[in-house]
Structure 1
């Protein structure tokens, strides 16, 4: 049986209070990582994630931070270093569709918000993780993109899809920048996963239609995305650089 150990490694998971981020935080903690559970507004949910990890014998702390605010991100990393240690694993999971809106009716403010939430957060959290990882000559960054990055998303989700496509491209470029420093950068692209995201943004009718075009005939579970992330941050993936694992039940195949 293969056992993955992240013993004593410090991992930051952004947007880790619910959904995929929560599953990733729990999975990394189960493998032995000390987990920084980032949240913006979901304080109660994030604290529940921390409590679950601690109750199971792990180590975790929650950190409130708007990942689109540069000063807040800098301060978060300093707090994590002081309380848990230097970040060695970063999972850029924070993101949102924000609001379904067709381009003709979209305001510049909404456009900017979607770009900030999905792109700027990845940029800032990566930027401030890099010095710590370079100092250790080791690190893992996993960005959470989306199937929408490749198929353009559903109605009213053009900017979400575009911003996630930027995340996929950013992953490849950053991977090239950092591979010489012992830092491996990869991504995962979830398909239709059972999360509060789809509860909020996707109708029941649309979700039923999705099942008809997914070869596995079901939505994915957050834990199935977390398994892919665990693989990417482990020693099992030492020859993967700039890759994007599609976790979509066969809905979109290369």
Structure 2
């Protein structure tokens, strides 16, 4: 019996939306594990210290709702690192809490663009690079909202993240023949992130913790470790899955 390989060293990883919170935590995790990482953000905008890992970090900027920008960033990442092995499609956001009865078509489309279109374009333009890797993997970021509809005013966000789940399954089927695995991670309440600092009151955050079986908020490190696992050969027989990470906030 062989041991699963959790070694992420020497992987070439692109993390989109990597300037803060979950995205930055994922980038840090890969860097600390010995990987090369291209962070989709400005170097000056990173909210954290890369320290000793800075020499293996690269940076690229662009609007991931625009196809030309996505193509450019993916190509720059592959050029800087000599190829791509793992792509983490982390760009996304709620944008604003808006009830359906007050929602404009523009808001709806903006939410879809930042969550679904960005993921689709990331998959499309990373494929040609990942197909040459012996360890090709894409990890997308879904959400608990995809399962439970989200909180107040988050219907568009919930719908967009449900679309990410479906897109992940479709891409997994299409890319399997090319040796590329595609999986999604669906976080519940992850504390100390810009998302909840912006959109969730202190009382709401306390309520989410109280309604989580493990009675704590998730951490960025929790999510990063799961993304690392789904990018490693230890998960080589997993594709098309959405892995929930919510501490028992919601059960299938």
Q: Into which bin does the TM-score normalised by the smaller protein fall?
A: over 0.9
After the TM superposition, list the runs of 4 or more consecutive aligned residues in structure 1 that deviate by more than 4 angstroms.
none
Residue 108 of structure 1: how far off its partner (Å):
1.1
Tell me by how many angstroms 1:57 deviates.
Answer: 6.6
- Give 1:19's aligned residue: 21
Q: For 2:57, what is the secondary structure of its paired residue? A: strand
Structure 2 residue ranges without an equivalent (≥5): none
1:138 and 1:181 in contact (8 A); partners too: no
Cα separation, 1, equivalents of 2:56 and 2:204 = 39
Q: Work out the CA distance in 2 between the residues paired with 1:209 and 1:111.
A: 27
Is this contact kept in 1: 2:5–2:233, CA < 8 A?
no
1:38 aligns to 2:40 (yes or no): yes
Q: Is the 8 A contact 1:30 1:58 kept in 2?
A: no
Kindly state the Cα deviation for residue 62 of structure 1 after the two structures are TM-superposed.
1.3
For 1:57 and 1:93, locate their aligned partners in 2 and report how far apart those are by CA, in whole Å: 21
**SS of alignment partner, residue 26 of structure 2:** helix
1:185 matches 2:161: no
Q: Is 1:170 matched up with 2:167? A: yes
Out of 239-248 and 78-87, give the one that drifted further.
78-87
SS of match in other structure, 1:136: coil
Aligned residue in 1 for 2:215: 217
Match in the other structure for 1:205: 203
Q: Which residue is 2:68 aligned to?
A: 71
Contact 1:29 1:58 (8 Å CA) reproduced: no
Which residue of structure 2 aligns with residue 52 of structure 1? 50
Q: 1: distance between equivalents of 2:7 and 2:30?
A: 9
Per-residue Cα deviation, 1:173-202 (whole angstroms, up to 9, x for no partner): 111111111101111100000111100001
TM-score by length of 1: 0.93
TM-score by length of 2: 0.94
Unaligned runs of 5+ in 1: none
Please identify, of 170-179 and 56-65, the stretch whose mean Cα deviation from structure 2 is larger: 56-65
Q: Pairwise CA RMSD of aligned residues?
A: 1.7
Could you tell me which residue of structure 2 aligns to residue 110 of structure 1? 107
Q: Distance in 2 between matches of 1:118 and 1:11?
A: 20
SS in 2 for 1:199: helix
